[in-house]
Structure formats: structure tokens, C-alpha cells
Chains A and B, each alone.
Chain A
Amino acid sequence: MSERATKIPPAETEAQSDDHPTDGTQTDPPSEAESDAEAPAETTPEPVTNGAQSVVRALENAGVEYAFGVQGGAIMPVYDALYDSDIYHVTMAHEQGASHAADAYGIVSGEPGVCLATSGPGATNLVTGIADADMDSDPMLALTGQVPTEFVGNDAFQETDTTGVTTPVTKDNTFSSDPDLVGSDVSEAFALAREGRPGPTLVDLPKDVTKAETDCEPDAPKTPDTYEVQTHAESAIVEAAADRLESANRPVMLLGGGVIKGEASEVCREFATEHEIPVVTTMPGIGAFPEDHELSMEMAGMHGTGYANMAITHCDTMLAIGTRFDDRLTGGIDTFAPDAEIIHVDIDPAEVSKNIHADYPLIGDAATVVEQLADAVQASPQAKKWRAQCQQWKSDYSMAYDAPEDEPVQPEFVVEALDEATDDDTIVTTGVGQHQMWACQYWTYTEPRTWVSSHGLGTMGYGLPAAIGARLAADDDQTVVCIDGDGSFLMTMQGLSVAVRENLDITVAVLNNEYIGMVRQWQDAFFEGRHSASNYNWMPEFDKLAEAFGAAGFRIDDYDEVADTIEEAIAYDGPSVIDVHIDPQANVYPMVPAGGDNGQFALTEDQL
């Protein structure tokens, strides 16, 4: 039996709109008349009788529709409570996939994705995805089973100090020890994952606590009183920053992932176009500004475009929004935008002046602060010459590539062909490596929440499970494409079984060069071509493997197969995998060597 979770999860009937999350009882579904009424049709839910039901009720109250996880001993009471819930549980093949799927669900929907695992190995398998969400500030709630309280600390079977292990990689975590409070702990963790700067939270659930009797209904999701978020920036600094922008001759806007998470894309677009300021994005900021716009300089950083890197290096004023100035963006700190005064907008005060000193620290919600700035800026900067310079750089350092017919397929061509074959709102997920960079560089992103990747942690194997989470969060008519590498795909490929079971319409294009390509590229550049452990010429045939899983498998070896195969794979209603045999020697350029000067990016290997 395979149900089509993408389209209609069993929880949703036509009578229940998205605004009225279901209440957790199946005995008395609201009728059409009821849900059309003024007040939401709330049937009285069955009172909770134990801790686990309280946990699930907390999720239902928060409007959770999907949960990703794997069963196990210590989490069994929670799964037992889920059995009666309308929350659709997607059983993953591996807990790492559960955390990546929840992460991607959070990126695409904006609401925390939920993942579950049992104690010990279940919990530790979640850690990679939690750390990934932490680095990228993605909203996520992880629920882990724990051994019964009386065994905690005794090295019991499948015991791990989960809160201890996850403290450095969560926004907040809780060991829940009271059956009366366990539901509220989950509610609070859900609220914390979403509010302010988003991030992953975790609640550790001892089996005796979830099994224990309680009639306590969880509180509504609310952050604790000690958690304060400043939304508006100090007006004096806003005024000063506005003056600085007005007098700028070489202004640049740098949009980070926070722009997308803070729903500030629209207001940033208005601000940039009104004042004609060239826009550069970070990698997580991809989609915040349409890349086909004249003002767009696209992505900056290690593999950013040459023109973006020239723009951030030579600007005199940088309006940086929702970025933490990661080293992959800045290159060497000493050469990062050395002439620029920095106006830094961020909701997290700790990000301001952490890596790059902010001359104008604007702490607050991205959308709110940009509106404050928009009100304060009276005149556009006089930057006609600068804009012309930026356009000149765009033609000097254009992202053109050669694709001779008689050579193996170039990866850039495949990415462009995929982009062409799909709509603008197509969601792209990737693993990590060369393919990820080509997907950044050669796909034209125009909408926020369409780029789903592992940025800060750089987790290989992220792409396929992320595609599963993204598929469930996306609109039905949105296409989901996973651009993966052979090495990345091999790491979490077991997720294909999930995609097949749920009949998820995902197209995976594996850019197969039989190498850990990025490592091979660095070995060629910095390790005298000694390909230590980077040659993967033992790769399986991914198209046949896909078929073994029950998915559709395709293979591309030549240019003349590219367009047709892609069309066929995308048209296939269900998971499909294209094994694209690309030029094994293809490299990613431009490139700023680690810690290098962004303005000195290399265009060829000789320039490294």
C-alpha cells in the first residue's frame, strides 16, 4: 500500500483548511459546515491520559502536520500516542535522514520541522542533522526517547546523554523529567525553535515520563520569559546608517539567510530597486533577490561569482542583512571589504561584530529594520558610476563555460538544462561538494525558500532526505529537484526507499564524476594531484539502483541525451534518479582559496 503523502495526507480532508489544524481526534471530524463557521470548528479533544499523549497534543496544538522519524524502544510511548493522531508520520530509513528532512521542511515552510528518534543510537544519528540546522539557523524540533529516569546515568541499554551531546548544537534543549510538564516542555521547545533567530531545539523524553499517567494538557507554544528578542533597531543608529547610505558612492547590499528566514526578501527587493543598490547574496541568502535582476550580482564567497566578489571587495558601504560573515563568504578577514563601512542588521546581537566589526549595528528583525531604514533614507546614493562598474565586472567575469560536443558532459550544462526544464518556483536541494557549487552558480534562483542546502556544516548526504522534507512542505504544483553528487548520494541513498513508499515526486540528478570531486579539485590544486581516497571509481550504477528501490532510473552519458532524459525524469510521477556521467575533471571556478582575498579569486587552476 502506498499512500500519496505529497498530495493529501490522511489527516487532511477538504473540510479542514490549513488554517485550522486538526485537533487530534479521529472520532469526530469537523463537518464542512462547522469549519466554514466563524469560529474554528474545535471538537473537544479526548483528554490526555499520559505523558506521551501530552507530547503529541503539544505538537497538534502547534499545528504540526508532519513528523519524520524512526521507531525504537525508548520512544515507543510517543509513537503509540501518534497512532491516534492526525499528524502524518514519515518513517525514514535512517535517523540522519529524519533530521535532514525536518530541517528542509523548516526551510521551505518556515515552521519548525519535527523529527523523532529513540534513545542512544537513534538520538546520536539525529545529531548531524541537528548540527546542520544549528549552523544554518533552521527551525527544527527534535524529540528523543530516553531510558527510564531510574536508569539514567547507569549506562543502560541504548543510553546516551542526549542533552549533553546536543548542547553545543542546539538553540536550547531540555531533559523532561515530569509527566505533568512534558507536554509544555515540547510546546516551549517548538516556540523557541521558531522565535527570534530560528534554530534546532530538543526535548529528551525518558520512557517512564512518557508512560506515566497525567491529565495535564500542554500549554500553548510560548517562549520562556528569559528569552528576549529585540525587533526594532535603535532609531539613532538607523538614522546614522541612513545618512551613511545616502552619502555612499559604492554601496552594496549583502543578503544572508536571515533575510529569507525573517521574511524580508520583499522589503529588501523594494529597498534595493528603489535606491538602485547592487545586491550580493551569501549562499544561504540565495533566492532572497531575483538573480535575473539587473542589480543582482549573485552569490559571493569562495565559489561566488567574480563580479560579486569584486563588488563586496570594492564597496565603500555594505548593508549586510541576516548574515554571520562565515569564513567561506569573507575569505581572509583582513581583506574583506576593506574600504567599507558596515551596516549590519541581525536579530541575534551575538552575530554583530563577531567576525566583522559593524560600524552601524542594527539589532532587530530583518523586515522591520529594513522598513525602518527605508523610512529613514531620504535620498538614493549617487552611485551611477559604481553601478556601471558592477555591470562591467559582470561582463568581464561572466559565468560562461565551454561545452565541446566531443568531450564528456559538462556539469554546468546539466544544471542549466534542469533549470530550463522546470518552473521558477522549483525547489532545489543539494548535497555538498562540487555539484552544490554548480547548482549555486548555474541555476537562476528568483524566489526565497527554493534553495535548500547544507551551508554552514557542509553535510554530504543532505540532498535526498532534504528533498523528502521539502517535497512535503512544498505546494503540490511545485517541482522538487535534488542535484546531488555521487559521493553525497551514496551517503543517504537509503532515503529512496522512503520516497518510493510515499510516492514522492522528486527528481534526483546525480552529477557523477566518480570522485569526491571537491576534494579531488583541492588535491589537484594544493596536494600535487595526489588523489588520496578521493577516487570513487567503484560507484554503483545509480539508475539501476533506483530501479531496485522501485524508483525510475535514467542515465545520461552524452549531450544529446540531456534534454530528453531530464524532461522524462521530471515528468515521471514519483521519485526518479538520473545518473549523469559528467566530465570527471570538471572543476569549480571562480575560487577564492581558503582564507584568501575575495578580490583575488582564481578563474583557472593556474591562478591559484
Chain B
Amino acid sequence: MKRGLDGPTPEERPTPAGRRNKQGIRIDPEVEAKREPRRTVISALVEHEPGVLSDVSGLFSRRQFNIESLTVGPTEDEDENRARITVVVEEPDPGIDQIKKQLRKLVPVIAVRELEPDAMRRELALIKVNAERPDQVAAVADMYGAKTVDSSPESATFEVTGARQKIDAAIETFTQFGIREISRTGLTALARGTDDTAAASSTVSTADEANQQPNAQPQTDD
């Protein structure tokens, strides 16, 4: 007994020559654009209300976006009770675009912006090291402008702030003394000059964004 419908079989049908890549972008065989992931900083201004951080982090986890760091804290407009969330992500451009749009969709999110590569980025780290050689430890701390937060006969704890690379370098240098514990805050950032980082008044039209290729300048952590 025949099961199914009539018509030319798959082999007898014409097939188009084109293809799309994983991001749904039509591939031009001449110049096939391969989208490499890049690191970028996204800043969001949000209503500082319970659950907003879990909304944001939940969004990232269930959409499988790779968060490198996520920081949150109150910001200007204290009366309005707002907070700024800074997220560092590593994704190909379409993914970064999608993150911005998805974030903007959350009701408590007021504005979202991807920061320029020249934005100010800072991180804080507390580094607790063995203090068997106090002089040398102090010298290293001095080199990285680290402040002593605590010291005991066995250990010393320093606070280092700066760009990620500087903190990485400080940790690497401290390693020679034996690191007992490290705690890092993750990155926070603001745009330079009078440029708004992500402000209620400067919400970028998402249509504009959708139409322009996101900037692909190289990462320049200062």
C-alpha cells in the first residue's frame, strides 16, 4: 500500500545554489565572512529593584551567552533608584547584537550600550600573599600601585585596581611569594569624556543599530 503524497522526488527538484552560515547570513562565495568572537563591554542602566540582576544573569545563562564578568551597583539618579550593570562578553558580532537587544527587552532595563574600545575599564582585586619576605612583597605592591589592606606576620593583603591586564600582571608577579587567596570584582566601565555610557536620554534606536555593522575595532584595555 502506498503511503504519502505524489510529486517529483527530492532528486528531481531544482535546488538553489546559495547557502547561509550559522548566523543565518547569506554567504557570498567570493568573500565568505567568518565571524570570530570578540570581547566587548556592554553597559546597561536599569531600575534598581529586586530581581533585576537575576533577570539579567538568567537571560545570559538560558541563551548560552558566555559572560566573562558581570558587575552591578547603584549609579547617579539616586532618587530614581537606578543601577548600572556592566557585562563583559565574548561572542561573534551577531551574538553581541542579540545580547544588546535581548537586554533592552527586559522591562526594568532603561538603556543599553556597547562601549567604545577606548572606554575606561577598571577592576578591583584583593590579593592575599604569604608575607615571609615583607620587603620584596612591598616592592612588588608598590610597582603596581597596590594598597595594603591588611597585614599579619604570615600574610599580607593588597588591593589592586586597574585594567584587567594590570591585575593579571600583578597576580603573576605576586605568585613568586605564594598566593593564598584572590578575590576579583569583575570589570566596571564608563565611556570617556562627555559621552554618555548608557543613559535614559541616549537610548540608541535599535533600528539604527540593527542596520549598522557593530564596530569591530581591536580591544584596547587601557
Contacts and interface: CB of A to CB of B under 8 A. Distances in A.
Interface in A572-596: 585, 587, 589-590
B55 A167 contact: yes
A399 to B, nearest CB: 7
B108 to A, nearest CB: 6
B211 A172 contact: no
A397 B8 CA distance: 8
B114 to A, nearest CB: 14
Contact of B18 (A227, A339, A397): A339
B20 A333 contact: yes
Interface stretch (A99-107, A469-477, A510-518, A600-608): A600-608
A163 to B, nearest CB: 7
A348 B5 CA distance: 38
Given A226-B47, A226-B110, A363-B206, A604 B21 contact: no
A230 B205 CA distance: 9
Given A349-B101, A361-B207, A363-B207, A167 B58 contact: yes
Interface residues of A, number: 65
B17 A339 contact: yes
A396 interface: yes
Contacts of B207: 230, 233-234, 237, 349, 361-363
A356 interface: yes
Contacts of B15: 313, 597, 599-600
A603 B51 contact: no
Interface string B151-182: 00000000000000000000000000000000
Contacts of A587: 3-4
B31 interface: no
Nearest to A167: B58
Interface in A276-314: 306, 310, 313-314
Interface residues of B, number: 51
Residue of B3, B9, B51, B109 ringed by the most chain A CB atoms within 10 A: B3
A338 B8 contact: no
B7 A396 contact: yes
Contacts of A397: 5-8
B3 A605 contact: yes
A443 to B, nearest CB: 17
Interface in A224-261: 224, 226-228, 230, 233-234, 237
A168 B24 contact: no
A314 B5 CA distance: 21
B105 interface: yes
Given A164-B54, A334-B19, A357-B20, A349 B206 contact: yes
A335 to B, nearest CB: 7
A407 B10 CA distance: 29
B7 A306 contact: yes
Given A163-B51, A354-B98, A363-B206, A603 B6 contact: yes
Contacts of A167: 51, 54-55, 58
Given A168-B58, A228-B203, A314-B14, A338 B26 contact: yes
Contacts of B51: 163, 167, 175
Interface in A304-353: 306, 310, 313-314, 325, 333-336, 338-341, 348-350, 352-353
A396 B8 contact: yes
B143 interface: no
B5 A353 contact: no
B209 to A, nearest CB: 8
B2 interface: yes
A524 to B, nearest CB: 10
Interface in B90-104: 94, 97-98, 101-102, 104
Given A226-B109, A338-B18, A363 B210 contact: yes
A306 B5 contact: yes
A38 interface: no
B133 interface: no
22 contacts: A167-B58, A175-B50, A175-B51, A233-B207, A234-B207, A237-B207, A306-B7, A334-B21, A334-B22, A338-B17, A356-B20, A357-B20, A357-B23, A361-B210, A363-B206, A397-B6, A398-B7, A401-B5, A402-B2, A599-B15, A599-B16, A604-B3
* For the complex of A and B, 10 pairs with smallest distance between CB atoms: A604-B4, A338-B18, A350-B101, A349-B206, A356-B24, A357-B25, A397-B7, A361-B210, A603-B5, A600-B10
Interface of B: 1-10, 13-26, 47, 50-51, 54-55, 58, 62, 94, 97-98, 101-102, 104-110, 203, 205-211
Interface of A: 163-164, 167-168, 171-172, 175, 192, 224, 226-228, 230, 233-234, 237, 306, 310, 313-314, 325, 333-336, 338-341, 348-350, 352-359, 361-363, 396-402, 407, 585, 587, 589-590, 597, 599-607
